[in-house]
Structure 1
């Protein structure tokens, strides 16, 4: 750590901040959040495009400066606006259990990273009182959030014994920036850079979450806790996105439904972030976007039961008592029909939603899929010529061959069976594509 400090002293705090952001978000797409704690306890944040950060950073640098680890579709740091997931991270508050950050890093090197319990992080942020381990990943879109969350939770569990913070696992998280100062400890934030190779999220899943991998490939077996949790989080995220889509369809004119919208948003956000404070912040921001928002005090009071239900959902005793009464568990286990009735969602609105739909909409979609399979839609749109069809198949084959080549480069010792599992194709197809790659 002493060498690290000497090395960083040779670079100005501003240049270190620029380097930190550049390494994290080089080639990024979307909005990046810069945030700062104000002396009066307030919180200021603003959103920038990647090419604007170098110009804007000098205006921010000083005490308690943070930036987002992932990017957003619009200048709002909310879970439904995630554009690119670019990193995994675990915030280790080792000071809460009396460990020095430097000692914890040495402990993790020996007990976790050296033995490949977890891969080595790309960088470690010495935040002034604790550390943040950051694993950079090849960017993936918002649809990968449930898988990202599953891997994120696994990484947290492996570091929980040294003080990992469960409330810092949400995809909208901001962390301190290199060269800034922690006002509580008066220490300067220092980043240790270890390597620059970005990880592939699917590779991390295959290596560290085999139970989830088996479930995705359709192998039989009892579904474990991890698979059930992944499925539930996938449903929660899809419903939260549907809720926002419904608000958009109604132009955020939600009078008569505002409390219900905020209640559902707060509950599902708690389930996805495991951080009730962050879920509350995002819900307050959502409410502020309504045509006629509720007062902040009113909306917090009206939705408080959402947080209580989430806490019960994570309480073993509460879950046991709920099951004795015949419920699947504690918390809100809402049916689609209940949500549709609460929000008066029309059949036309359901056509634009992903998962909050009734039986009629499910049947309508099935009929459309059946018609597509039998070729009625294809004939109505004009059938492809043989040449177009062959060209399309050739492009698909070349794309799969390219994916295989990259997978073989990353995993030179991988068997055909392992490669097939990674690419979600058959072993026979891997053999065929290997011949194509060699030629």
Structure 2
């Protein structure tokens, strides 16, 4: 195996690790501590404040990705900093040494990229791939890469429930209470990947060209597209609640049902989906009681488990169910009707046309009129009459009169 960078001091190791994965992070980072006395507790910190904490204690975790506000949910993700796989070695027939040697000889840079950081977590290993900082909209591709890494590494105990972008993971220097050992860095390299680089090298079926092929798409491609749709709908549901100032009593149950339904398919983790649904419910002016919420949305989980597409709603149905008006649709990402789609297409075509004009060094019609009015204003200041301005600028009398009227109405002359 390659020689790794060794770090011995526990305090230094924690801080160096955090700085390594979060060196450019601008979002909130979640810190979790689990104790017998207090159970699961989480807090949110900026990088500078996180570095002030003491991690020399049992069962402490941090998020490797960040959030734009102090809330650890899929729709609040700000930056994707890392991909990761948690290997539960104790569930396999292998030793850590056997797995590390096998990965080095048969997996790294052949079917998966080599990790930037490898941690010994006590009863397992944590593999981390540092990424060029990536915005939240790349989450479906990030998730597809996580799924690929999981499929390749499940023989070594890859944890299916530790694939979501909001996951918190153990920190070097802290103690795993189950094994009674410290979490430590056992390998670290300066590898920083881009999602597209990993996609090109290890998931070629997701290349853009694959979308153009006729026939039914491969399963991986289909799931990737479907997950992109779910992400958009999750974000739209939260945006709708925000636009309505979380006063959603009329559509409360259907909002929570759909949110839990789409989260189940995106996370593929029913427990996490329910936790996030409860969090969203708690933001409402009039939230449901937890038992009532669970009962009102439990069919979402049942459908997911049965792999039934029973609630595969079209946009028009969602707009009707959620009573989304035209103004609200302008703030949606994917839940939009035909008229809003046409409006966006017109805007796109207009912007594209203007961009082409700019590339050719030409002006848009609006810019031409603005420039003409500036010239008319200057010539009027020189004392020229309308007929002389028309002759000088080679414009019609009608345009000249209209522009002078505009300048007067707007107090420009």
TM-score, length-scaled by structure 2: 0.82
Distance 1:270 1:61, change over 3 A: farther
Paired with 1:233 and 1:353, the residues of 2 have a C-alpha distance of 17
**Structure 2 equivalent of residue 18 of structure 1:** 15
How many residue pairs match? The answer is 363
Paired with 1:73 and 1:194, the residues of 2 have a C-alpha distance of 28
Give the alignment's Cα RMSD to 1 decimal.
2.6
1:314-344 residue CA offsets vs partner (Å, 9 max, x unmatched): xxxxxxxxxxxxxxx5352111122112111
Once the two structures are superposed, the pairs formed by residues 238-387 of structure 1 within 5 Å of their partners are 238-313=232-307, 330-372=309-351, 378-380=364-366
1:191-233 residue CA offsets vs partner (Å, 9 max, x unmatched): 2233112011111111111111153674666521111111101
Paired with 1:383 and 1:30, the residues of 2 have a C-alpha distance of 44
Given that 2:4 and 2:189 are in contact with CA atoms closer than 8 Å, whether structure 1 keeps it comes out as no
Distance 1:343 1:221, change over 3 A: closer
Distance 1:211 1:65, change over 3 A: same
The alignment partner of 1:248 has SS state of: helix
Distance 1:382 1:247, change over 3 A: farther
1:49-84 residue CA offsets vs partner (Å, 9 max, x unmatched): 1121221x22x5411000001011101000001111
Decide which structure has the larger Cα Rg and report it. 2
Distance 1:365 1:27, change over 3 A: closer
Paired with 1:190 and 1:373, the residues of 2 have a C-alpha distance of 52
More deviation in 76-85 or 278-287?
278-287
Paired with 1:353 and 1:221, the residues of 2 have a C-alpha distance of 30
Mark the runs of 5 or more structure 1 residues left unpaired by the alignment: 314-328, 386-439
Paired with 2:238 and 2:329, the residues of 1 have a C-alpha distance of 13
Paired with 1:129 and 1:176, the residues of 2 have a C-alpha distance of 12
- Verify: 1:135 aligned to 2:132, yes or no: no
Mark the runs of 5 or more structure 2 residues left unpaired by the alignment: 358-362, 372-413
- Verify: 1:64 aligned to 2:59, yes or no: yes
- Verify: 1:53 aligned to 2:53, yes or no: no
1:165-204 residue CA offsets vs partner (Å, 9 max, x unmatched): 1211100011000011111221211122331120111111
Structure with greater helix percent: 1
The alignment partner of 2:261 has SS state of: helix
More deviation in 252-261 or 100-109?
100-109
The alignment partner of 1:207 has SS state of: helix
Paired with 1:278 and 1:381, the residues of 2 have a C-alpha distance of 52
The alignment partner of 2:238 has SS state of: helix
Once the two structures are superposed, the pairs formed by residues 161-176 of structure 1 within 5 Å of their partners are 161-176=155-170
Paired with 1:358 and 1:379, the residues of 2 have a C-alpha distance of 30
Shift of 1:14: 2.1
**Structure 1 equivalent of residue 88 of structure 2:** 93
